[in-house]
Amino acid sequence: MTVQTLAARRDVTIAARALVVAVVLALAAVVTGNLLGDRAEASRMRMPQSAAMEQALGVRFSRIAVVGDGGLITLSYVVLDAEKASRFQSDVAHPPTLRSEARQGSTHRVSLMKQGHTLRPGQTYYLVFENTAGALHPGELATIDDGALHLPHVPVL
């Protein structure tokens, strides 16, 4: 081999290594960007909590979801205090109101509230609301109102 051929091969090897390093750096940048985007989305969709509401009602709301082809809403909650939660669940005349933060829509029309059994602390239960006139849409934020108590910025699934 000539000196020129060896020099040409060395140049090709250096160029190939530089290309591999550039591809690895580009992939690392894409993966890092996706991870940061997922974290931002996760924090936006994080369920807020209200100590005052939990103390008064004996429940921690855990999820709002539009279900039933958009016609129903489930409001899930975890029982913290069985006695207070039983009073909350039995008060069918004063259900919580779910209010959209994006528009004027809200609903308090509960289709299923009292589930007729003893509540156990730590267990998840749910209420089923009618999604009156499309009050809530998936992907938006809502506020749960219960009398003077409010839990804002609840993500709607």
CA dihedral 52, 57, 61, 65 (to 10 degrees): -130
One DSSP character per residue, 20-74 reads HHHHHHHHHHHHHHHHHHHHHHHHHTPPP--HHHHHHHSEEEEEEEEEGGGTEEE
Q: Give the tens place of pLDDT for each residue, 104-138.
A: 989 988 876 666 678 899 999 999 999 999 999 99
| Segments making up each domain of the chain, as ranges | 1-45, 51-156
Structure confidence at residue 13 as a pLDDT band (50, 70, 90): confident
> What is residue 25's predicted lDDT score, i.e. its pLDDT?
80
> What is residue 117's predicted lDDT score, i.e. its pLDDT?
74
One DSSP character per residue, 108-135 reads --EEE----S---TT-EEEEEEE-GGG-
Residue 52 pLDDT greater than 90, yes or no:
yes
Q: Which amino acid is at 118?
A: T
> What is residue 140's predicted lDDT score, i.e. its pLDDT?
95
- The answer to whether 143 touches 153, Cβ cutoff 8 Å, is yes
- The predicted model scores a pTM of 0.71
Q: Give the tens place of pLDDT for each residue, 134-151.
A: 999 999 999 999 999 999
Q: Alpha-carbon distance 77 to 67, whole Å? A: 16
Let me know if domain 51-156 sits in CATH 2.60.40: yes
Q: Alpha-carbon distance 105 to 137, whole Å? A: 10
> What is residue 12's predicted lDDT score, i.e. its pLDDT?
80
